[in-house]
Amino acid sequence: MEKVIVGVSGGVDSAVALILLKKEGFDVEGLFMRNWDSTINNDYLGNPNNLNDICPQEQDYNDALELCNSLGIKLHRIDFIKEYWDYVFTYFLDELKKGRTPNPDMLCNRYIKFDLFVKHAKSLGADYIATGHYARIKDGKLLRAVDLNKDQTYFLADVKRENFRNVLFPIGDYTKDEVRKIASDYNLNVAKKKDSTGICFIGERNFQKFTQNYLKPNPGDILDVKTKEVIGRHNGLMNYTIGQRRNVGISGYPDRHYVCGKNVEKNILYVAFGEDNKYLESDACLIENVNFISGIRPTFCTAKFRYRGLDHPVELEYLENNEIMVKYNGGASSVTPGQACVLYLGEECLGCGFIKNVYKNNEKLWYLAN
Could you give the CA distance from residue 154 to residue 316 in angstroms, rounded to a whole number? 18
What CATH code is assigned to 280-368?
Answer: 2.40.30.10
Could you give the CA distance from residue 310 to residue 333 in angstroms, rounded to a whole number? 10
The answer to whether 18 and 29 are in contact (CB under 8 A) is: no
Closest listed residue to residue 287, CA positions, set 304, 273, 271, 275 = 304
Closest listed residue to residue 242, CA positions, set 264, 215, 271, 222 = 271
What's this model's pTM, rounded to 2 decimal places?
Answer: 0.91
What is the tens place of the pLDDT at every residue in 71-83?
999 999 999 999 9
The stretch 12-36 carries a mean pLDDT of 95
Provide DSSP, 41-86: T-TTSS-TT-TT---HHHHHHHHHHHHHHHHT--EEEEE-HHHHII
DSSP class of residue 244 equals: -
Nearest-5° Cα angle at 127, 201 to 11: 30
Q: Which pLDDT does position 246 carry in this prediction? A: 85
CATH superfamily of 216-273: Adenine nucleotide alpha hydrolases-like domains (2.30.30.280)
What is the tens place of the pLDDT at every residue in 254-264?
788 999 999 99
What is the tens place of the pLDDT at every residue in 341-364?
999 999 999 999 999 999 999 999
What is the tens place of the pLDDT at every residue in 47-92?
434 434 556 778 889 999 999 999 999 999 999 999 999 999 999 9
The long-range contacts involving 229-232, CB below 8 angstroms and separated by at least 24 positions, are 231/271, 232/271
The dihedral sign for the CA sequence 141, 125, 16, 160: negative
Residues with a known catalytic role: 108, 200
Could you give the CA distance from residue 9 to residue 60 in angstroms, rounded to a whole number? 6
Residue intervals in the chain for CATH 2.30.30.280? 216-273
Could you give the CA distance from residue 60 to residue 298 in angstroms, rounded to a whole number? 41
Nearest-5° Cα angle at 333, 250 to 264: 50
Residue intervals in the chain for CATH 3.40.50.620? 3-185
Residue 189 half-sphere exposure toward CB, CA atoms < 13 A: 14
Surface-to-core class of residue 29, CB atoms within 10 Å of its CB (0-12 exposed, 13-18 middle, 19+ buried) = buried
Residue intervals in the chain for CATH 2.40.30.10? 280-368
Q: Which CATH architecture describes the domain 3-185?
A: 3-Layer(aba) Sandwich (3.40)
Sequence length of the chain is 370
Give me the percent of the chain exceeding a pLDDT of 90: 72
Q: Which pLDDT does position 196 carry in this prediction? A: 75
